[in-house]
A and B are shown apart, each in its own frame.
Chain A
């Protein structure tokens, strides 16, 4: 993956077309508090604005709750109802789903808000496209499912269920236990974080590639090459919609997997 990412480092060799690369995400100029742990660059700002807007919308919609909801309240209820019904209740059941709903809703709408900025004009980048945010979210999922397991069935049983799944002849455990350990306690949080991060990075690079190529064909190359620009513009247009779907899907997958991990952790048997 490191090598794949290195391929994205700017290819500023031909002097004519600069393909977008890792510099889209890293080494951005600081806007505020340069050099401090509170340094704010473009992506951090986008991240802050995204969650501020998301919370503002929810606050406006739920500020004056009414039995007969207005349009905003209906939309907010629909959105929260989606997480409640499709993720919390469906995976965890009514009782556990109720306890974990705030966490799952926070994950879903936090990720969604920070993802969606990737197609918002003038922001054009996802708040989750630099590593700390996805990593921290993965860490939250990790801590939560281990906590749920220890609290739900006790530490001993949780680790036994996790590392020594029932219904397997014991010699297999020599092989299975280390694999399960790596899978559950290392791969799970990392895969959550990297899946989100890379989807956001690649999606952004695809869009930038399409639109910068369009720009190049129209204004730098000119002539017959402009025809290619029409094609790349169309691709950019299509990918904008694809990315929008990906943003929703990634928020959903992240939240769903967190719920599934919690459910597995508290299950009596795997």
Chain B
């Protein structure tokens, strides 16, 4: 039977020879194994790796951009904060300065007032002292002068001092009346 097939196969192109079938099977098996086990898995691996790499890079870039944006936002916020803080500090300084200035001014004016008051008191005291000394000196001088003029001894101390006191009281009352009359 195989001989018959072989003989037939010599002239009929549609009858396969045994060795033709053998080698066709071998070829088919080898090619299929090659594509199933090597070519297609490798091809898919390449495509998958590439897709993964591209996705990875995109994700990395996204991440970097997000980070950069966050940093920028943070810096902007910090900058705004710093500006506000600087403004506050400036404001504070100005307020402080004004307060210090006002305090100093007040201090100076109160000092000045105090000095003025002290001076007035001192002047008053000196005036009083001057009046007192003048009163005694003017009294004795006037009595000396008057006793010389009228020739009458006014050595009687009691009478003399009473007369001087009366005289000075007259002067004082006229002094006190004159400014009030001047005002009128």
Interface residues of A (CB under 8 A from B): 1-2, 5, 9, 22, 25-27, 33, 36-41, 44, 47-48, 51, 54-55, 58-59, 62, 65-67, 69, 73, 76-77, 80, 84, 101-103, 105-106, 109-110, 114, 127, 130-133, 135-137, 140, 194, 197, 201
Asked if B31 and A27 sit within 8 Å, CB to CB, the answer is no
Asked if A131 and B19 sit within 8 Å, CB to CB, the answer is no
**Interface residue B45 (Cβ < 8 Å from any Cβ of A):** yes
CB distance from B86 to the nearest CB of A (A): 52
Contacts of B18 in A (CB 8 A): 37, 39
Which DSSP category, helix, strand, loop or mixed, fits chain B's interface?
A: helix
A55 interface neighbour in B12, B31, B46, Cβ under 8 Å: B31
| Alpha-carbon distance A39/B12, docked complex (angstroms) | 18
Count of A-B residue pairs with CB < 8 Å: 130
Interface residues of B (CB under 8 A from A): 9-25, 27-28, 30-32, 34-36, 38-40, 42-43, 45-47, 49-50, 53
Asked if A26 and B31 sit within 8 Å, CB to CB, the answer is no
Q: Which residue of A lies closest to B50 (CB)?
A: A67
A48 interface neighbour in B23, B32, B49, Cβ under 8 Å: B23
Asked if B38 and A62 sit within 8 Å, CB to CB, the answer is yes
Contacts of B38 in A (CB 8 A): 58-59, 62
CB distance from B1 to the nearest CB of A (A): 14
List 8 A-B pairs, Cβ < 8 Å. Answer: A2-B12, A27-B10, A40-B23, A47-B24, A65-B49, A131-B14, A132-B16, A132-B20
Asked if B22 and A22 sit within 8 Å, CB to CB, the answer is no
Asked if A132 and B24 sit within 8 Å, CB to CB, the answer is yes
Contacts of B35 in A (CB 8 A): 102-103, 105-106, 109
